[in-house]
Amino acid sequence: MLFKIVKICGTGTVEVSPQWEWNDEKGSIVEIKKMHDLELDTAESELLFGKLEKLLLNEVVDLQFPQYIHPARLLCDVYYAGEDIRELLD
């Protein structure tokens, strides 16, 4: 599933376009697996937010292995240029 990142919402949350559809649900908010629940202090959070924004804003990504969380939010792996973005941020 290919989507454009239109907004970085948080350290592990992005908004995509067009809306995703999965298991009879749809939405535009994606939480990145293993990043959405990171416990970071403010400085770490701001640094990660900046990295996500620089790397992904207005870029096309591939959403893989989706898991439903709650309405309008999808938890999945996010790949950019064939790479898991979690690895690109290290």
Handedness of CA 14, 18, 21, 26 (dihedral sign): positive
Q: Which pLDDT does position 45 carry in this prediction?
A: 76
**Does a structural domain hold residue 29?**
yes
Asked whether residue 75 is domain-assigned, the answer is no
Establish if 58 belongs to a structural domain: yes
**Has residue 78 been placed in a domain?**
no
What is each CA distance from 14 to 43, 67, in whole angstroms? 19, 15
CA distance 16 to 50: 17
């990142």: which residue's tokens? 5
Q: Per the domain annotation, does 77 fall within a domain? A: no
Q: What DSSP state is assigned to residue 27?
A: E
Task: Please give the tally of structural domains in the chain.
Answer: 1
Which residue range forms the structural domain that includes residue 32? Answer: 2-70
Q: Is residue 25 one of the residues assigned to a domain? A: yes
User: Is 60 a domain residue?
Assistant: yes
Is position 80 within any domain? no
Report pLDDT digits (tens) over 37-85.
666 667 777 888 888 899 999 999 999 999 877 767 899 999 999 999 9
Please give the Cα distance from 87 to 79 (Å, whole number). Answer: 10
